[in-house]
Amino acid sequence: AQTVTQSQPEMSVQEAETVTLSCTYDTSESDYYLFWYKQPPSRQMILVIRQEAYKQQNATENRFSVNFQKAAKSFSLKISDSQLGDAAMYFCAITRVGSNYKLTFGKGTLLTVNP
Amino acid sequence: ETGVTQTPRHLVMGMTNKKSLKCEQHLGHNAMYWYKQSAKKPLELMFVYSLEERVENNSVPSRFSPECPNSSHLFLHLHTLQPEDSALYLCASSQGRDYEQYFGPGTRLTVT
C-alpha cells in the first residue's frame, strides 16, 4: 500500500515571495509517478506538475518546481513569485507504474496568498 | 464544452430519493473515475472505468451505482443515501493508466 503525508494543513505566503509545500510518501515500489494538484476555491482540480521516479532531474513548470529526494521519499513543491491566483488547496499524489489506475492522495495543504 | 464537465453542480436530496450525477469528458480519454472528497480527508477513489469496463470498485456501498455507457460519459446513480454521504463528488478522466488525471468541477451533494 502507498501513503502520502502532507504535514502542513495550512500555509501562507506574501505575494511575490516563495513558498515550499512539503510532501512525504511511503511506497515499496521502485517505479512510480508523483504529482502535485491544485484545487482553487472554484473546486476544479488542476494538475500542477508531474515527476517520474526514475528521473533524477527535478521537474519544473514555470514558477512551480519540485525538490524530489527519492531516498528520503520526499517530494516538495516550490512556488516562486507567488500570485494571488495561487491561493488554493494543494494535493500531493502518487501512483505506481502499472497501478491499475490507483492514485493515492494526501490530505492537502491550504495555501493563502496575502497581498 | 472543454475538459471534464459535471452536472448538476449542487444537489440536495432526501434519504429516500433517487438521483444521478453525470460526467462528460471532451478529451478523448479512455479511462474515467469517480472520487468522493470529504472535509479533512484524502480523496477517496470510488470507481474506475477503462474502455467502458469497470476495473476498480473500492468497497463502495451498493447505494452508489456507476454506469459508463461509452468512453465519454459516466454516471453515478444514487439511492437511499445516508447523511454521511454528503460530500463533493469528483469525476476525472485520463488517457490510460499511469497518466495524469483531469478533473471536473465536482457535484456538491447534501443528503438531508
> Nearest to residue A52, comparing CAs of A30, A20, A37, A72?
A30
Of A4-8, A40-44, B85-89, the range with the lowest mean pLDDT is: A40-44
Are the beta carbons of A18 and A78 closer than 8 angstroms? yes
Option in B90, B94, B98 nearest A45 (CB): B90
Contacts 24+ apart (CB under 8 A), B58-67: B66/B34
Are the beta carbons of B65 and B41 closer than 8 angstroms? no
Q: What is the pLDDT of residues B48-59, one digit of tens each?
A: 998 777 777 778
Closest approach of B101 to chain A, Cα-based (Å): 8
Q: What's the rounded mean pLDDT across residues B68-74?
A: 93
Q: How confident is the model at residue B7 (pLDDT cuts 50, 70, 90)?
A: very high
Q: Identify all chain A residues contacting B42, using CB atoms and an 8 Å cutoff.
A: 4, 91, 104-108
Query: What rounded mean pLDDT belongs to chain A?
Result: 93
Q: How confident is the model at residue A102 (pLDDT cuts 50, 70, 90)?
A: confident
Closest approach of B88 to chain A, Cα-based (Å): 9
Query: Could you tell me what percent of chain B has a pLDDT over 70?
Result: 97
Contact B97 A108 (CB under 8 A): no
* Statement: residue B65 has pLDDT above 70: yes
Q: Where are the alpha helices (DSSP H) in chain A?
A: none
Q: What's the rounded mean pLDDT across residues B13-29?
A: 93
CA distances from B33 to A38, B18, B85, B90, B95 (A): 18, 21, 18, 8, 12
Q: Rounded distance, CA B87 to CA B83, Å? A: 9
Contact B103 A46 (CB under 8 A): yes
* Statement: residue B79 has pLDDT above 90: yes
Query: Chain B: residue nearest A32 by CA?
Result: B98
* Statement: residue A20 has pLDDT above 90: yes
Q: Which residue has the higher pLDDT, A111 or B53?
A: A111
What confidence score (pLDDT) does residue B50 get? 85
Are the beta carbons of B106 and B11 closer than 8 angstroms? no
Q: Rounded distance, CA B32 to CA B88, Å? A: 17
* Statement: residue B3 has pLDDT above 90: yes
What confidence score (pLDDT) does residue B2 get? 77
Q: What is the pLDDT of residues A56-89, one digit of tens each?
A: 899 999 999 999 999 999 999 999 999 999 999 9
The count of other CB atoms within 10 Å of the CB of residue B60 is: 17
Q: How confident is the model at residue A100 (pLDDT cuts 50, 70, 90)?
A: low
* Statement: residue B1 has pLDDT above 70: no
* Statement: residue B82 has pLDDT above 70: yes
Option in A43, A50, A102 nearest B105 (CB): A43
